[in-house]
Structure 1
Amino acid sequence: MGSILQFVLIIITINITYVTLTTIRFILMIKGMRVYASLLSVLEVFIYIMGLSIILDNLDSYWNIAAYCCGYGVGVYLGSRIEERLALGYIMAQVIVECEYQGLAGELRDAGFGVTSWLGEGKTGPRMVMMVLAKRNRQKELLNRIDSLCSNAFVIFEEPKNFRGGFWAKKVLH
């Protein structure tokens, strides 16, 4: 029984590692980091082949197959959590506030965020509309600043795949 448990734990560990790397590689490709994704894929495929050979040599035990499946699920979860922590890329926040909060754009610029603002018209009157560009790892900071200055702001986050131009682009890219 001890060797079965040990074998199951090895399969789970290999599959968690493999799927976590797959998830991170996929996200790196989406973010345009092809070189890093390619390098990571070498390690990923090595681990995959090791795990697959172990499971194919031992298909006689349902525990091994269950371990493979469980490791896969945990690997997807773990990979997405790691990506969330890495927070690669940029976010674009569209922020809409009542015009009395016109100073918000300046406050956000002073904090290092790229802001373009203009006046818009809402259902109940004029609104200040802002497009705010920030690194994704500063998203919580941005939202906290907006909430502290204007708690009833309407905020939509998007992830731009790429962008160019603008006076702030050089600062963001480096």
Structure 2
Amino acid sequence: MKDILLVLLIQLLYVPTFTLRTIFLVKGWKIKAAIFGFLETIVYVFGLSIVLTGDKESIVMIVYALGFAIGIIVGSLIEEKLAIGYTTFQVIIPTKNVTLIQALREQGYGVTVYEGEGIDSKRYQLSVLTTRKKEEDLYHFIQELEPRAFIVAYEPKAFRGGFILKSMKKRKQKN
């Protein structure tokens, strides 16, 4: 019974560590990824050694797999809470909603406005960068001021300079 609980605990440590290592690697944060990779390997080797050196009960192997599955859920929840990184919103609106644009700027967001052609008329595209922690708030804020907005959100890999970094730092200090 002790081995079963230990294997479950190890998997609940291993998989979230694996998840965070992968996220840091994708974001290009090599040192953090390496640290989590080191921790991941230690936990993995201990867990696997228990499974392979035990008396090979099927229940231990099933718990190992179950722990992995639960660990994926735990790792995902941790990642959602941390909300590491930034999101760029591409907001397409049918009219130049000056109220929305001004409100976003007053909130400290950098907003770049582009004019384009839709199938039947002019359209306006707003480009807005935010932290992932503020993503949901920004989405609702835009929907409140422009219910007809078409919003596409994506995660930029890298960016440098510009108004946005300064304003985000100021906004962060206020909160």
TM-score by length of 2: 0.89
What secondary structure is seen at the aligned counterpart in 2 of 1:32? coil
Structure 2 partner of 1:102: 98
1:136 to 129, 132, 139: 132
Structure 2 spans left out of the alignment, 5+ residues: 171-175
Cα distance change, pair 71–80 in 1 and its aligned pair in 2 (3 A) = same
Structure 2 Cα separation of the partners of residues 101 and 168 of structure 1: 20
Whether 1:123 and 2:153 are equivalent positions in the alignment is no
Structure 2 Cα separation of the partners of residues 95 and 103 of structure 1: 14
Structure 1 Cα separation of the partners of residues 96 and 41 of structure 2: 56
2:72 to 73, 76, 96: 76
Structure 2 Cα separation of the partners of residues 65 and 110 of structure 1: 56
Whether 1:162 and 2:171 are equivalent positions in the alignment is no
TM-score by length of 1: 0.89
Of 65-74 and 110-119, more deviation after overlay is shown by 110-119
1:113 to 91, 109, 114: 109
Structure 2 partner of 1:37: 33
Q: CA deviation at 1:50?
A: 1.0
Cα distance change, pair 124–59 in 1 and its aligned pair in 2 (3 A) = farther
Matched-pair contact (CA < 8 Å) for 2:18–2:37: yes
What secondary structure is seen at the aligned counterpart in 1 of 2:163? coil
Structure 1 Cα separation of the partners of residues 66 and 118 of structure 2: 50
Which residue identity does 2:54 align to in structure 1?
A: N
RMSD value, Cα = 1.8
1:8 to 4, 8, 13: 4
Matched-pair contact (CA < 8 Å) for 2:110–2:167: no
Structure 1 partner of 2:23: 27
Whether 1:66 and 2:66 are equivalent positions in the alignment is no
Which residue identity does 1:122 align to in structure 2?
A: G
Identity %: 36
Q: CA deviation at 1:168?
A: 2.8
Matched-pair contact (CA < 8 Å) for 2:14–2:44: yes
Q: CA deviation at 1:78?
A: 1.2
Q: CA deviation at 1:169?
A: 3.9
Matched-pair contact (CA < 8 Å) for 1:24–1:80: no
Whether 1:147 and 2:132 are equivalent positions in the alignment is no
1:108-142 Cα offsets, whole Å, 9 max, x none, are 11112121002222223222211111111110111
What secondary structure is seen at the aligned counterpart in 2 of 1:168? helix
